Amino acid sequence: MGNNNPQVKRTVTTLRKMKQDGEKIVMLTAYDSSFARVADEQGVDVILVGDSLGMTMQGRETTIPVSVDDLIYHTSCVSRVNKHALVLADLPFMGYTSPEMALRNSARLMQESYAHMVKLEGGAPQVETVKQLTFHGVPVCAHLGLQPQSVHKLGGYRVQGRDAAAAQQMIDDSLALQDAGADMLVLECVPVSLADTITEKLDIPVIGIGAGGGCDGQVLVLHDMLGITPRAPRFSRDFMAAGDGTIPGSVKAYIDAVKDGSFPAEEHCFA
Domains of the chain with bracketed CATH: 12-268 (3.20.20.60)
Q: What does DSSP assign to residue 230?
A: T
More confident residue, 154 or 146: 146
**Residue 152 pLDDT class (50, 70, 90 cuts):** low
Give the closest residue to 44 by CA, choosing from 90, 4, 12, 89. 4
- 72 vs 10, 110, 118, CA distance in Å? 21, 9, 11
Res. 159: pLDDT tops 80? no
Q: Mind giving me the DSSP string for 65-119? A: T--HHHHHHHHHHHHHH-SSSEEEEEPPTTS-SSHHHHHHHHHHHHHHH--SEEE
Concerning whether 41 is annotated as a catalytic residue, the answer is no
**pLDDT number for residue 2:** 40
**Residue 157 pLDDT class (50, 70, 90 cuts):** low
Q: According to the annotation, is 119 in a ligand binding site?
A: yes
Contact 180, 164 (CB under 8 A): no
Q: Which is catalytic among the residues 61, 188, 200, 267?
A: 188
Averaged pLDDT, 28-45: 98
- Per-residue model confidence as pLDDT tens digits over 92-147: 999 999 999 999 999 999 999 999 999 999 999 999 999 999 999 999 999 999 88
- Return all residues near 184 (Cβ < 8 A) that are at least 6 apart: 12, 15, 88, 117, 139, 140, 141, 142, 204, 205, 206, 207
Question: Would you give the distance in Å from CA 151 to the centre of its chain?
Answer: 17
- 43 vs 10, 58, 85, 248, 250, CA distance in Å? 10, 27, 8, 10, 12
| Rounded Cα gap, residues 185 and 202, in angstroms | 9
Residue 255: beta bridge partners?
none
Averaged pLDDT, 233-256: 92
Q: Establish how many alpha carbons lie within 13 A of residue 212's alpha carbon, considering only the half-sphere containing its beta carbon.
A: 16
**Residue 1 pLDDT class (50, 70, 90 cuts):** very low
Q: According to the annotation, is 90 in a ligand binding site?
A: yes
The share of the chain scoring above pLDDT 70, in percent, equals: 94
Mean pLDDT of the chain: 93
Point out the least confidently predicted range of 1-5, 104-108, 171-175, 261-265.
1-5
**Residue 224 pLDDT class (50, 70, 90 cuts):** very high
Point out the least confidently predicted range of 78-82, 214-218, 266-270.
266-270
Averaged pLDDT, 50-68: 95
Contact 118, 139 (CB under 8 A): yes
Averaged pLDDT, 63-92: 97
How many residues can be counted in the chain?
Answer: 271
Res. 83: pLDDT tops 60? yes
Burial 96-133 (b: 16+ CB within 10 A, else e): beebeebbebbebbbeebebbbbbbbbbeebbebbbbb
| Rounded Cα gap, residues 191 and 163, in angstroms | 10
Point out the least confidently predicted range of 3-17, 62-76, 126-140.
3-17
Q: Is 156 left (phi over 0), alpha (psi -120 to 50) or beta?
A: left
Q: According to the annotation, is 52 in a ligand binding site?
A: yes
In the three-class reduction of DSSP (H, G, I as helix; E, B as strand; rest coil), residue 14 is classed as helix
Contact 217, 186 (CB under 8 A): no
| Rounded Cα gap, residues 156 and 212, in angstroms | 21
**pLDDT number for residue 102:** 98
